[in-house]
Amino acid sequence: DAKTTQPNSMESNEEEPVHLPCNHSTISGTDYIHWYRQLPSQGPEYVIHGLTSNVNNRMASLAIAEDRKSSTLILHRATLRDAAVYYCILRDGDQAGTALIFGKGTTLSVSS
């Protein structure tokens, strides 16, 4: 699986937008970009995923660069509940199997 690079940590204030970057310069044409997050003392939870076009759901937006070598997870209005470790993961859409290869992720702190 291609690797991703994320900042170790980021800080935000409540009610402000948060942009979490992810670099994946060796991404292949069939790799989907997935984001999961892990709240304290919980298992990871799915946030969003996309292939080429920007994606929106009730939790967040995913902005994918035109060359697909980077992407940004956007939380439009951070809340205290969004404090978590965010993982950017590439998954080959043509490959069977569910294994998620987690990196160290970005620890997001949110202040009131």
Partner 1 sequence: KAGVTQTPRYLIKTRGQQVTLSCSPISGHRSVSWYQQTPGQGLQFLFEYFSETQRNKGNFPGRFSGRQFSNSRSEMNVSTLELGDSALYLCASSLVPQGTDTQYFGPGTRLTVL
* Binding residues for partner 1 (CB under 8 A): 32, 36, 42-46, 49, 87, 91-105
Q: Name residue 35's beta-bridge partners.
A: 48, 88
| Min CB(15)–partner 1 separation in Å | 28
Angle at 86 between CA 84 and CA 88, to 5 degrees: 175
Token readout for 2 is: 């291609």
Looking at the Cβ atoms of 81 and 99, the one nearer to partner 1 is: 99
Looking at the Cβ atoms of 85 and 110, the one nearer to partner 1 is: 85
CA nearest 101: which of 24, 42, 40, 39?
A: 24
| Min CB(101)–partner 1 separation in Å | 7
